Amino acid sequence: MDTATDAHTRRPNETHTMPMNALHMNAPARSLEGRVALVTGGARGIGRAIVDHLADLGATVGVLDLKKELADQAVTELTAQGHTAMAFGGNVAERDVIMDAAAALKSACGRFDIMVSNAMWVRYGPISELTPEMVRRMVGTGFESVIWGIQAAEAHMGEDGGSVINIASAAAFLGLQRGLTYAGVKAGVLGLTRAGAVDLGPRGIRVNAVCPGFTTTEGVMLNVTPEMVQKRLARTPMQRVGTPEDVARVAGFLASSASGFVTGEYIKVDGGATYAHL
Ligand SMILES: NC(=O)c1ccc[n+]([C@@H]2O[C@H](COP(=O)([O-])OP(=O)(O)OC[C@H]3O[C@@H](n4cnc5c(N)ncnc54)[C@H](O)[C@@H]3O)[C@@H](O)[C@H]2O)c1
């Protein structure tokens, strides 16, 4: 889908020399110049890092968030850095919120190329404390929203196709303690990713997932104790926790033509934690 030069192919060793979080210093060439993206939950955490990275790669980015004032703030900051961005408010569990944002981007920019379904309302807890309201909220924001993102891609992406990126989780592969609904929702997202890839492949629309491991964001820190962080570290072969930028760089790859024949796939960004039995 992308005719622009992609620096991933020119500088294959870049990641070996890249300082850990130096996204802006080492942003690859503008491989997404002229592209238009929508990122849900884009106002903070992993979503915000994806917004910043896609903008650095040259994309115009729609920032959709429940907290419209935070989305507005992100757009102000991006604009000050010379990027083009638009803010949208709303709950991703509602189909129209996603469809309307994609339609508005298409109408404003003339195209829609990249759909990142990232937002989810998350709570962990014992099985006995799950309520129908909590389960509905997690399924609505984490699973149904991904369906609406795929539907928005089908409705609004153009003849040259596009890329859908669903943020799942390493929890999709784990029997996660206190995470019954979360693990189920994220495993379901991988199913949606595969089925979406099959249906939309003929349209040139790729559908892939990123599965972060433990990643330090404000949202995740609400759900974990310092002891849990230490436990995660001890189980991670790469001996550090993930950063939002780790996830954003992989999303940038899946958005770009460097991954042009990859669809229905997932990439874990977890420092090897899912495979470790330490
Ligand atoms: N942080 C981690 O360790 C981790 C690990 C694996 C997967 N993930 C996944 O990454 C995604 C982002 O996680 P995060 O840690 O950055 O979260 P976060 O809580 O830091 O940020 C989430 C953003 O989404 C917005 N949001 C929440 N509910 C929304 C809704 N209903 N509609 C619109 N916007 C909404 C929030 O306002 C916030 O800006 C989630 O899907 C999460 O499950 C996170």
DSSP three-state, residue 114: strand
| Residues 130, 136, 139, 142, Cα dihedral to 10° | -100
134-146 burial by CB neighbour count: b if 16+ within 10 A, else e? eeebbbbbbbbbb
CA–CA distances in Å: residue 238 to residues 26, 215, 229, 274, 275: 22, 13, 14, 12, 12
Q: Residues 91-116: pLDDT tens digits? A: 999 999 999 999 999 999 999 999 99
Within 10 Å of residue 35's Cβ, how many Cβ atoms?
Answer: 25
Q: Which of 182, 276, 186 is nearest to 223 (CA)?
A: 182
- CA 196 to centroid of ligand 1, rounded, Å: 22
Q: Residues 36-64: pLDDT tens digits? A: 999 999 999 999 999 999 999 999 999 99
Tokens standing for residue 6: 């992609």
Helices 244-255 and 45-56 cross at an angle (nearest 10°) of: 50
User: How far apart, in whole angstroms, are the C-alpha atoms of residue 191 and residue 187?
Assistant: 7
**Does the model's pTM come out above 0.85?**
yes
Q: How far is CA 120 from the centre of its chain?
A: 11
Instruction: Report whether pLDDT(18) > 70.
Output: no
Using a 6 Å cutoff on CB, does residue 179 contact ligand 1? no
Active-site residue flag, 275: no
155 sits in which H/E element: helix 145-156
- CA 146 to centroid of ligand 1, rounded, Å: 13
Using a 6 Å cutoff on CB, does residue 141 contact ligand 1? yes
What pLDDT score was predicted for residue 175?
87
What pLDDT score was predicted for residue 28?
62
DSSP letter (8 states) at residue 213: -
What pLDDT score was predicted for residue 228?
85
Identify the band that residue 21 occupies on the pLDDT scale cut at 50, 70 and 90.
very low
Using CB atoms within 10 Å of the CB of residue 152, give its burial: 0 to 12 exposed, 13 to 18 middle, 19+ buried: buried
Q: Which domains does the chain carry? A: 30-215+244-269 (3.40.50.720)
Which of 24-28, 39-43, 100-104, 221-225 comes out lowest in average pLDDT? 24-28
β-pair partners for 117: 166
CA–CA distances in Å: residue 91 to residues 37, 159, 182, 232, 267: 18, 29, 18, 31, 26
- Ligand 1, residue 186: give the atom nearest the CA: 43
Residue nearest atom 30 of ligand 1, based on CA coordinates = 91
- Say how many residues make up the chain: 278
User: How far apart, in whole angstroms, are the C-alpha atoms of residue 53 and residue 225?
Assistant: 29
> C-alpha angle with apex 45: 41 to 49, nearest 5 degrees?
90
Using a 6 Å cutoff on CB, does residue 85 contact ligand 1? no
